[in-house]
Chain A
Amino acid sequence: MSAPLLKIENLSAAVGGKKVLQGLSLSVNAGEVHAIMGPNGSGKSTLSYVLAGRPGYEITGGKIEFEGRDLTTLAPEERARAGLFLGFQYPVEIPGVNNVYLLKAAVNARRKAQGLQEVDAYEFLQMVRAKTKLMQMDESFLSRGVNEGFSGGEKKRNEILQMLVVEPRLAVLDETDSGLDIDALKVVARGVNSMRAADRGVLLITHYQRLLEHVVPDFVHVLTRGRIAKTGDKSLALELEQRGYDWVLEVA
């Protein structure tokens, strides 16, 4: 059997000297969708930033392997080129850099790392347009500055659009569902579902189970106090919705 897409073993991490992750273990195989749920402050966003390699998030113990490679030795841009994608909880606005430019730069960076030629400009634009349509975004968004003046929901859709365009091996989506109305949530879910494939994995970090009605996970993990306290199938998400997180803490 080939190595899991993502294998985290006994991971500890600190932010600003404060221990946030404390012995987290998790394994994601290709073809699987995992949901990570947990109360505020449990370490959900920290996990996503540690995976993406954000400066200031210090790994103090444990291992992270991505397709058998040690992820922690890679710079953030190398992780992206290896096929890891982070959908940000709060995507930044970058006025002056247009969306299409960023999409193309991202795709070409990955292709270059794979020893492939740059994308054909025309074909690329056709592909981006089709995916923009899938995300129910107006084409005018493409020529605007990255997230510039976008509403909260538009920013989240734009994250999913980027994911669809770069076609990562593993997508880590950090609370992509927060702040979305039900229609936008369905659009985002459709985007994520269209990415599901036998050779890809998704890690959905979420606070609520409503996204999981539309993107049905293979596994649901409860993250509390910096470690996975409980793992189950999609029914665990419903149970959490009804009973809250406290009972998991009591059991753990």
Chain B
Amino acid sequence: MSAPALPTNRDENWRYANLRPLAKARIDAVAAPETTGSRIELPAVLPGFERWVFVDGRFDAANSTRAPDSCAELLSFGAAGETLAAMLDTEIETAGVDFALARLNGARGDQVLVITPGDGAETRIELNFVSTTSAAAGTSYPRVQVHCGRGSHLHLVERHLGSGAADAAINAAFDVALRADAQLDHCRLQNCADAASCFDTLVAHVGERATYRLRTVTLGGLSSRSTIFVKLAGREARCELLAAAIANGTQTHDFFAEIEHAAPNSVTRELFRGIANERGKLGFNGKMIVRENALDADSDQSLKTLLTGSGAEAAARPQLEIYTDRVRAKHGATTGKLDEQMLFYLLSRGLDRAQAQALLQWAFIEDAVSQVQLAPLRQEIEQLIAVQLSEVSALDGLVSRS
């Protein structure tokens, strides 16, 4: 089969992404390993969660701990597609260049994890995607479909981690659907190896009075790009999108998030906090669409980036497309440097400059990270951020306790 056309920096929603690693990676899926079940270093299992582990995009039974009554199962791609189509009230639009990576995932991947909490069920699942293979040997294609039944509540933790080869290529795709009154708490941590490229496409469909909370923390990889489409399809549907990212060295983290208000009284809360150090680059393009019938929709965007290196770049862009008058849409975007007054205050208390700077960066990003409600996961993330910002010791005592 011929390779589908991939996005380039000339495409409108892809200007800030670093697409070079994508172009260089071998497009075929990483071959299934000859032996499975080798020991992989992972954080402790979150209390009450069932654990799924995927290595280079493939299910790793030996490292997973499935619940006996699990609502998640592994399907072949064709079967999963039919399941999702049957579950949704409307079709998810997947044409155009923004979905090219998701289509590539569909064409090259072969396993799909389908998670279907039944009506009223409360479920906790963590997904760990571990990359061990160099991009020269192939790409990982994780694929997950989530369908939350009426009034169900799913706590979903998704980690992307590296082990072994530093330059893995990941192309993940998520399809999410929430029935009426469902709640999905989805926490995503991208902490891939230094030279990895991590691309993902997420499409979500939120029904009546349902709430989708997506908290995403991006720390690892040389190049990452998240493409997020959320449709608030039912009355009073709600989306809380919170993203935090730190780009050090020559890292590039790019986000495109389009949230479509397609029903009355739908609500969005979007918050981005990003730090670009050294020659790091950050992009966050938050597009908000309010359809004609989305009367009294309410959207709030707060996008802030902090530049601390002379070669660092950041672009935080809120976009609004509004087709009704009865709407409340608030948006703010700032790109700035460390506050000189705060810095001087800390210096005047005897803290050295590096510690004071790390502390202020910590405070900036903590604005977002403090909203990760799952305490053990928040601590795990805070530890990683402390390491990324400075020596751990300098920020010891700030990591929250459970």
Contacts and interface: CB of A to CB of B under 8 A. Distances in A.
Nearest to A75: B347
B345 to A, nearest CB: 5
Given A96-B363, A96-B364, A101-B398, A109 B345 contact: no
Interface stretch (B48-56, B174-182, B336-344): B336-344
Contacts of A106: 349-351
Contacts of A100: 397
B363 A80 contact: no
- Give the residue among B340, B348, B351, B362 with the most A Cβ atoms within 10 A: B348
B398 A98 contact: yes
Interface in B334-379: 339-342, 344-353, 355-356, 359-360, 362-364, 366-367, 370
B392 to A, nearest CB: 14
A95 B398 contact: no
Contact of A166 (B344, B345, B349): B349
Contacts of A145: 363
Nearest to A86: B348
A222 interface: no
A91 B348 CA distance: 11
A80 B345 contact: no
A162 B351 CA distance: 13
A95 B350 contact: no
Contacts of A102: 346, 349, 351
A109 B349 contact: yes
B378 to A, nearest CB: 13
A89 B284 CA distance: 38
Nearest to A81: B350
B349 A92 contact: no
Given A55-B344, A92-B341, A104-B397, A97 B362 contact: yes
Does more than half of chain B's interface fall in helix, strand or loop, or is it mixed? helix
B15 to A, nearest CB: 31
Contacts of B363: 94-97, 145
Contact of A95 (B341, B349, B367): B367
Interface string A68-106: 000000011101110000101001101111101110111
Interface residues of B, number: 26
Contacts of A97: 359-360, 362-363, 398
Contacts of A81: 350
A33 interface: no
Contacts of B360: 94, 97
A52 interface: yes
Contacts of A162: 349
A106 B342 CA distance: 15
Interface in B376-399: 397-398
A96 B353 CA distance: 18
A52 B370 CA distance: 33
A127 to B, nearest CB: 16
A138 B397 CA distance: 21
A105 B340 CA distance: 19
19 contacts: A54-B344, A55-B344, A76-B344, A77-B356, A80-B347, A92-B342, A92-B345, A94-B345, A96-B370, A97-B359, A97-B363, A97-B398, A104-B397, A105-B349, A106-B350, A106-B351, A109-B349, A146-B345, A166-B350
Interface of A: 52-55, 75-77, 79-81, 86, 88, 91-92, 94-98, 100-102, 104-106, 109-110, 113, 145-146, 162, 166
Given A97-B362, A105-B355, A106-B351, 19 more contacts: A54-B344, A55-B340, A75-B353, A76-B344, A92-B345, A94-B342, A94-B363, A96-B363, A96-B367, A97-B360, A101-B398, A102-B346, A102-B349, A105-B350, A105-B351, A106-B349, A106-B350, A110-B350, A146-B345
The 10 closest A-B pairs by CB, nearest first: A96-B363, A109-B350, A80-B350, A106-B349, A96-B366, A76-B347, A77-B347, A81-B350, A97-B363, A92-B345
